[in-house]
Amino acid sequence: MTVTAQMVRFAVVGVVNTATYYGCYLLLLNPLPYIAAHVAAFALSMTGSFFLNCRFTYRTRPTWRKFLLFPLTNAANFVITTGGVYLLVDVAGLGSRYAPPVAAAAAIPITFVVSRAIMLRPDAHRAPAVAERVP
């Protein structure tokens, strides 16, 4: 699969992930402060994003190693979106319902690059293919 195809699939997963995040965020916004709602919704949607990216974007088998490394793909995303949500709500005065999708747009390219590196990295413990084995 080409990088372009992966980027398109990543974008589709991103739309689904953003919708999942935003739906969870709105559900949690009444009982929680907006930052707590953001963090909880982010964690829930990140788990779904991992499985969608394994299956649909990169067509790779999910492993515990990848699952445990996957949050690194979202570390920059988390920092950018959390800072963005804060700046948009508390500094710029944008409503807390509308700030998250605006902040999320800035993090997409960074998340793709890191995600691709983790998902397509070969597992270190796998046995080499027959052609790669030393005679």
Residue type, 39: V
Q: Give a yes or no: residue 135 inside a domain.
A: no
| In a domain? residue 130 | no
Query: Measured between alpha carbons, how far is 110 from 16 in angstroms, rounded to an integer?
Result: 18
Number of domains in the chain: 1
Domain carrying residue 54: 3-122
| Position 95 in a domain | yes
- Per-residue pLDDT tens for 29-46? 999 999 999 999 988 999
Write down the pLDDT at residue 131: 44
Residue 9 is assigned to a structural domain of this protein: yes
- 55-114 per-position pLDDT tens digit: 999 999 999 999 999 988 878 788 888 999 999 999 999 999 999 988 888 777 778 888
In a domain, 61, yes or no: yes
Q: Which two tokens stand for residue 77?
A: 């995303």
As a whole number of angstroms, the distance between CA 60 and CA 72 comes to 18
